[in-house]
Amino acid sequence: MIDISNLTPDEREALLKNLTEQKTKEESENKKAYEGLRADFIARVKTRFNEYVAAGKDFKNWLREESEAYFDVLREYGKLKRAEQLGFIVSDENFKMQVKGSKVKGFDERADIAEKRLVEFLNDWVKNSEKGANDPMYKLAMMMIRRNEAGDLDYKSISNLYELDSDFNNPEYSDIMRLFKESNTVEATAIHFYFETKDKYNVWRKVEPSFNRM
Protein backbone atom coordinates (compact mmCIF):
# COMPACT_ATOMS: atom_id res chain seq x y z
CA MET A 1 0.00 0.00 0.00
CA ILE A 2 1.13 3.50 -0.78
CA ASP A 3 0.59 6.15 1.84
CA ILE A 4 -0.23 9.12 -0.39
CA SER A 5 0.06 11.47 2.61
CA ASN A 6 3.82 11.01 2.43
CA LEU A 7 3.95 11.88 -1.27
CA THR A 8 4.87 15.23 -2.64
CA PRO A 9 2.37 17.06 -4.89
CA ASP A 10 4.42 16.09 -7.96
CA GLU A 11 4.52 12.44 -6.86
CA ARG A 12 0.76 12.46 -6.28
CA GLU A 13 0.18 13.96 -9.69
CA ALA A 14 2.43 11.34 -11.28
CA LEU A 15 0.62 8.54 -9.40
CA LEU A 16 -2.78 9.84 -10.49
CA LYS A 17 -1.59 10.09 -14.06
CA ASN A 18 -0.27 6.53 -13.93
CA LEU A 19 -3.51 5.19 -12.46
CA THR A 20 -5.59 7.05 -15.04
CA GLU A 21 -3.48 5.72 -17.88
CA GLN A 22 -3.71 2.18 -16.49
CA LYS A 23 -7.52 2.44 -16.19
CA THR A 24 -7.82 3.83 -19.70
CA LYS A 25 -5.64 1.01 -21.03
CA GLU A 26 -7.73 -1.65 -19.26
CA GLU A 27 -10.97 -0.13 -20.56
CA SER A 28 -9.52 -0.02 -24.07
CA GLU A 29 -8.41 -3.65 -23.87
CA ASN A 30 -11.80 -4.73 -22.52
CA LYS A 31 -13.56 -2.81 -25.29
CA LYS A 32 -11.28 -4.34 -27.91
CA ALA A 33 -11.82 -7.84 -26.50
CA TYR A 34 -15.62 -7.40 -26.45
CA GLU A 35 -15.77 -5.99 -29.96
CA GLY A 36 -13.62 -8.85 -31.20
CA LEU A 37 -15.98 -11.35 -29.54
CA ARG A 38 -18.99 -9.59 -31.04
CA ALA A 39 -17.46 -9.53 -34.53
CA ASP A 40 -16.61 -13.23 -34.31
CA PHE A 41 -20.10 -14.10 -33.04
CA ILE A 42 -21.97 -12.21 -35.76
CA ALA A 43 -19.62 -13.58 -38.43
CA ARG A 44 -20.29 -17.17 -37.36
CA VAL A 45 -24.05 -16.56 -37.13
CA LYS A 46 -24.11 -14.87 -40.55
CA THR A 47 -22.20 -17.73 -42.15
CA ARG A 48 -24.54 -20.37 -40.73
CA PHE A 49 -27.59 -18.21 -41.54
CA ASN A 50 -26.60 -17.80 -45.19
CA GLU A 51 -26.02 -21.54 -45.46
CA TYR A 52 -29.42 -22.21 -43.86
CA VAL A 53 -31.25 -19.81 -46.19
CA ALA A 54 -29.46 -21.15 -49.27
CA ALA A 55 -30.30 -24.73 -48.29
CA GLY A 56 -33.93 -23.77 -47.66
CA LYS A 57 -34.27 -22.07 -51.04
CA ASP A 58 -32.57 -24.98 -52.78
CA PHE A 59 -34.92 -27.47 -51.09
CA LYS A 60 -38.01 -25.39 -51.97
CA ASN A 61 -37.01 -25.07 -55.63
CA TRP A 62 -36.14 -28.76 -55.82
CA LEU A 63 -39.41 -29.77 -54.12
CA ARG A 64 -41.49 -27.66 -56.46
CA GLU A 65 -39.86 -29.12 -59.56
CA GLU A 66 -40.13 -32.66 -58.23
CA SER A 67 -43.76 -32.16 -57.20
CA GLU A 68 -44.74 -30.82 -60.60
CA ALA A 69 -42.99 -33.73 -62.32
CA TYR A 70 -44.64 -36.24 -59.98
CA PHE A 71 -48.07 -34.70 -60.56
CA ASP A 72 -47.59 -34.94 -64.33
CA VAL A 73 -46.96 -38.66 -63.92
CA LEU A 74 -49.91 -38.99 -61.54
CA ARG A 75 -52.18 -37.11 -63.94
CA GLU A 76 -51.16 -39.34 -66.84
CA TYR A 77 -51.47 -42.48 -64.72
CA GLY A 78 -54.95 -41.46 -63.61
CA LYS A 79 -55.88 -40.56 -67.18
CA LEU A 80 -57.15 -37.09 -66.32
CA LYS A 81 -58.70 -35.64 -69.47
CA ARG A 82 -58.34 -32.00 -68.53
CA ALA A 83 -55.54 -30.03 -66.93
CA GLU A 84 -56.00 -30.11 -63.19
CA GLN A 85 -54.56 -27.66 -60.72
CA LEU A 86 -51.53 -29.04 -58.91
CA GLY A 87 -52.63 -30.76 -55.72
CA PHE A 88 -52.08 -34.14 -54.10
CA ILE A 89 -51.18 -35.93 -50.87
CA VAL A 90 -48.51 -38.60 -50.50
CA SER A 91 -47.51 -40.43 -47.34
CA ASP A 92 -45.83 -43.45 -45.86
CA GLU A 93 -46.12 -44.93 -42.36
CA ASN A 94 -45.00 -41.82 -40.50
CA PHE A 95 -44.57 -38.97 -42.97
CA LYS A 96 -47.17 -37.09 -45.01
CA MET A 97 -46.87 -34.28 -47.53
CA GLN A 98 -49.70 -32.30 -49.05
CA VAL A 99 -49.24 -30.05 -52.05
CA LYS A 100 -51.76 -27.34 -52.89
CA GLY A 101 -51.60 -25.15 -55.94
CA SER A 102 -53.75 -22.09 -56.53
CA LYS A 103 -53.98 -19.41 -59.17
CA VAL A 104 -53.13 -15.97 -57.84
CA LYS A 105 -53.56 -12.62 -59.50
CA GLY A 106 -50.78 -10.10 -59.54
CA PHE A 107 -49.69 -6.84 -61.13
CA ASP A 108 -47.22 -5.71 -63.73
CA GLU A 109 -44.88 -2.70 -63.60
CA ARG A 110 -47.75 -0.20 -63.94
CA ALA A 111 -48.79 -1.02 -60.37
CA ASP A 112 -45.45 0.31 -59.09
CA ILE A 113 -46.23 3.68 -60.65
CA ALA A 114 -49.80 3.57 -59.35
CA GLU A 115 -48.50 2.80 -55.86
CA LYS A 116 -46.16 5.80 -55.87
CA ARG A 117 -48.92 8.08 -57.15
CA LEU A 118 -51.30 6.79 -54.51
CA VAL A 119 -48.84 7.50 -51.70
CA GLU A 120 -48.34 11.03 -53.01
CA PHE A 121 -52.10 11.51 -53.34
CA LEU A 122 -52.77 10.25 -49.81
CA ASN A 123 -50.04 12.41 -48.28
CA ASP A 124 -51.48 15.49 -50.01
CA TRP A 125 -55.05 14.52 -49.17
CA VAL A 126 -54.35 13.97 -45.48
CA LYS A 127 -53.02 17.52 -45.15
CA ASN A 128 -56.57 18.77 -45.63
CA SER A 129 -58.10 16.23 -43.29
CA GLU A 130 -59.11 17.42 -39.83
CA LYS A 131 -57.86 14.15 -38.29
CA GLY A 132 -54.58 14.15 -40.20
CA ALA A 133 -52.77 10.81 -40.33
CA ASN A 134 -55.35 9.41 -37.91
CA ASP A 135 -58.07 9.71 -40.51
CA PRO A 136 -59.55 6.18 -40.97
CA MET A 137 -59.70 6.60 -44.76
CA TYR A 138 -56.01 7.46 -44.89
CA LYS A 139 -54.99 4.63 -42.57
CA LEU A 140 -57.10 2.10 -44.47
CA ALA A 141 -55.73 3.08 -47.87
CA MET A 142 -52.11 3.01 -46.64
CA MET A 143 -52.67 -0.40 -45.09
CA MET A 144 -54.06 -1.76 -48.37
CA ILE A 145 -50.81 -1.05 -50.25
CA ARG A 146 -48.54 -2.82 -47.81
CA ARG A 147 -46.52 -5.45 -49.59
CA ASN A 148 -46.23 -9.02 -48.40
CA GLU A 149 -43.04 -10.81 -47.36
CA ALA A 150 -42.23 -11.54 -50.99
CA GLY A 151 -42.48 -7.83 -51.81
CA ASP A 152 -45.67 -8.19 -53.84
CA LEU A 153 -48.89 -6.21 -53.68
CA ASP A 154 -51.90 -8.17 -52.48
CA TYR A 155 -54.62 -8.46 -55.12
CA LYS A 156 -57.50 -8.53 -52.61
CA SER A 157 -56.17 -5.52 -50.74
CA ILE A 158 -55.79 -3.48 -53.91
CA SER A 159 -59.30 -4.52 -54.95
CA ASN A 160 -60.61 -3.01 -51.71
CA LEU A 161 -59.12 0.31 -52.77
CA TYR A 162 -61.48 0.39 -55.76
CA GLU A 163 -64.42 0.59 -53.36
CA LEU A 164 -63.07 3.84 -51.88
CA ASP A 165 -63.28 5.64 -55.21
CA SER A 166 -66.63 7.27 -54.46
CA ASP A 167 -65.51 8.15 -50.91
CA PHE A 168 -62.47 10.09 -52.10
CA ASN A 169 -64.41 11.42 -55.09
CA ASN A 170 -61.25 12.74 -56.71
CA PRO A 171 -60.16 12.49 -60.39
CA GLU A 172 -56.57 11.72 -59.40
CA TYR A 173 -57.64 8.84 -57.16
CA SER A 174 -59.92 7.48 -59.90
CA ASP A 175 -57.06 7.62 -62.41
CA ILE A 176 -54.75 5.79 -60.00
CA MET A 177 -57.35 3.05 -59.60
CA ARG A 178 -57.63 2.79 -63.38
CA LEU A 179 -53.89 2.24 -63.56
CA PHE A 180 -54.06 -0.49 -60.90
CA LYS A 181 -56.85 -2.24 -62.83
CA GLU A 182 -54.91 -2.07 -66.09
CA SER A 183 -51.82 -3.52 -64.42
CA ASN A 184 -53.75 -6.51 -63.12
CA THR A 185 -52.75 -8.75 -66.02
CA VAL A 186 -50.39 -11.20 -64.37
CA GLU A 187 -51.54 -14.62 -63.27
CA ALA A 188 -49.27 -17.06 -61.48
CA THR A 189 -49.52 -20.33 -59.60
CA ALA A 190 -48.83 -20.32 -55.90
CA ILE A 191 -47.76 -23.69 -54.55
CA HIS A 192 -47.83 -24.46 -50.85
CA PHE A 193 -46.43 -27.48 -49.08
CA TYR A 194 -47.73 -28.96 -45.84
CA PHE A 195 -45.97 -31.66 -43.83
CA GLU A 196 -47.05 -34.00 -41.05
CA THR A 197 -45.32 -36.69 -39.05
CA LYS A 198 -46.66 -39.22 -36.58
CA ASP A 199 -45.76 -38.77 -32.95
CA LYS A 200 -45.11 -41.52 -30.41
CA TYR A 201 -48.87 -41.89 -29.93
CA ASN A 202 -49.32 -42.60 -33.64
CA VAL A 203 -51.12 -39.27 -34.16
CA TRP A 204 -50.41 -37.05 -37.15
CA ARG A 205 -48.85 -33.74 -36.14
CA LYS A 206 -48.25 -30.77 -38.42
CA VAL A 207 -44.60 -29.87 -38.94
CA GLU A 208 -43.81 -26.38 -40.20
CA PRO A 209 -40.27 -25.95 -41.58
CA SER A 210 -40.14 -22.43 -40.22
CA PHE A 211 -37.09 -21.41 -38.21
CA ASN A 212 -39.15 -20.13 -35.27
CA ARG A 213 -41.43 -23.17 -35.23
CA MET A 214 -38.78 -25.86 -35.15
pTM of the full structure:
0.60
Domains of the chain: which residue ranges?
8-84, 108-184
Q: Tens digit of pLDDT for each residue in 141-150?
A: 888 888 877 6
Residues 6+ apart with CB under 8 A from 181: 162
The pLDDT assigned to 141 comes to 87
pLDDT of res. 156: 86
In this prediction, residue 1 carries a pLDDT of 65
Question: Which residues, given as ranges, of the chain have pLDDT below 70?
Answer: 1, 150
pLDDT tens-place string over residues 119-155: 999 998 888 777 777 778 888 888 888 887 767 888 8
Tell me, what DSSP letter sits at residue 135? -
Contact call for residues 87 and 97 (beta carbons, < 8 A)? no
Confidence (pLDDT) at 211: 80
CA distances in angstroms from 120 to 77, 81, 164, 173, listed in the order given: 55, 51, 16, 10
Q: What is the pLDDT of residue 133?
A: 75
